[in-house]
Amino acid sequence: MFPYRPMPALGPRPPAPRQRALAEWRGLDLAPLQEARTLRAKHLSDVLPAVLSGLRIDQRRAEAEVVKVWNNLLDPNIVAHAQPTGLRKGTLFVTVDNHVWLCEIVRYRRKEILNRLQHSFGRDFIAKISFRVG
């Protein structure tokens, strides 16, 4: 049916006779140049961990899990006025919508919130809570 067409070889073309002759005359070695031009395909399982660590997927997933637990574990009045915004080096950063709620949480509810979160995630994951008005 269709005429047969050979598939081209993958990778760079070999050097032309003129290039080989010039390289010999100049005393150059073309092997490093050919090696640099070759296609260096890597397996996905070798590349994926480096990409995921660069995107900090594990940290973002942990932060999302903290938000879920925060919304289900705490008093709805606190959830309405305070939301976690970040987690760095064991410190959970929480943004509170006004100064009155900040004082209420810091004075009377901080220890309770910290104990509940540490019970859910562990003392190493959340060591401190920092509240800010935002």
Instruction: Give pLDDT < 50 ranges for the chain.
Output: none
pLDDT number for residue 11 = 62
Element (H, E) at 40: none
Domain boundaries, the chain: 17-52, 57-133
Q: Which pLDDT score, from 0 to 100, does residue 107 have?
A: 93
CA pair distance 90, 128, nearest whole angstrom: 6
Put simply, whether the predicted model's pTM sits higher than 0.75 gets the answer no
| Predicted local confidence at residue 104, as pLDDT | 92
What per-residue confidence (pLDDT) applies to 1?
Answer: 59
> How many Cβ atoms sit within 10 Å of the Cβ of residue 10?
8
pLDDT score for 12: 65
Cα-only R_g, the chain: 30
* Residue 83 confidence (pLDDT): 93
Distance between CA atoms of 61 and 55, rounded to whole angstroms? 11
- Asked if 92 and 130 count as a contact pair (C-beta separation under 8 A), the reply is yes
- Provide the pLDDT for residue 46: 86
pLDDT digits (tens, 9 = 90+) for 89-125: 889 999 999 999 999 999 999 999 999 999 988 888 8
Asked whether the beta carbons of 96 and 134 are under 8 A apart, the reply is yes
CATH class of the domain defined by 57-133:
alpha beta
By DSSP bridging, strand 128-133 and strand 82-88 are unpaired
